[in-house]
């Protein structure tokens, strides 16, 4: 069996995608629009920083696009798959050079991708609302990850010593 696809790693990936799905489903719809604010970014950033680009990309793409489908936004699912996958990959890839740097790169992809897509799908009058929502969402996600990653790392290091 390929060491990259052990049952343990597949199960971990599925659980992380599920965590992103749940965090994304804790959402606040924007009245009159087919967009929403959610907490999924914080989980994607946390996973990507702790486990790297592969888990960041897979949990972001699968978890967030599954949430779009379950929340009744199926049009967004393929777009989300690409944007959130790239976002998670970039955060995981560049976080070792600096967590904030990695998060900023991922956030820029997310903000640009969703703002552009919302403008194309719903008209450019919607783009400022999407932009503001995305900046807020990535900011809250960054704070979440930067606050919880050190706590998780501390707990994990205690477990490995014990």
Give the domain ranges of the chain: 3-153
| CATH of region 3-153, choose from 3.30.750.80, 1.10.1760.20, 3.30.70.260, 3.40.50.1970 | 1.10.1760.20
Q: What pLDDT does residue 58 have?
A: 96
3-state helix, strand, coil in the chain (%, to 5): 85, 5, 15
**CB 149 within 8 Å of CB 50:** yes
Q: What pLDDT does residue 9 have?
A: 86
Per-residue tens of pLDDT for the chain, all 162 residues: 456 778 988 898 899 999 999 999 987 777 766 667 789 999 999 999 999 999 999 999 999 999 999 999 999 999 999 999 999 999 999 999 999 999 999 999 999 999 999 999 999 999 999 999 899 999 999 999 999 999 999 998 876 554
- Long-range CB contacts (< 8 A, 24+ apart) of 76-82? 76/34, 76/117, 79/113, 79/114, 79/117, 82/113
Q: How far is CA 107 from the centre of its chain?
A: 9
**CB 2 within 8 Å of CB 91:** no
Token representation of residue 121:
């799908």
């Amino acid at each position: 069996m390929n060491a990259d696809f052990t049952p343990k790693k597949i199960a971990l990936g599925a659980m992380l995608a599920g965590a992103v799905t749940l965090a994304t489903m804790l959402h606040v719809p924007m009245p009159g629009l087919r967009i929403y604010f959610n907490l999924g970014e914080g989980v994607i950033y946390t996973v990507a920083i702790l486990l790297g680009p592969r888990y960041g990309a897979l949990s972001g793409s699968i978890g967030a696009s599954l949430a779009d489908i379950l929340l009744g936004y199926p049009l967004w699912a393929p777009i989300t798959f690409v944007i959130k996958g790239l976002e998670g990959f970039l955060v995981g890839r560049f976080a070792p050079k600096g967590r904030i740097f990695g998060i900023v790169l991922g956030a820029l992809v997310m903000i640009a991708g969703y703002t552009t897509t919302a403008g194309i799908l719903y008209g450019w009058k919607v783009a400022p609302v999407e932009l503001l929502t995305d900046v807020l969402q990535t900011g809250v996600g960054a704070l979440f990850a930067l606050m919880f990653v050190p706590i998780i790392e501390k707990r994990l290091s205690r477990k490995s010593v014990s």
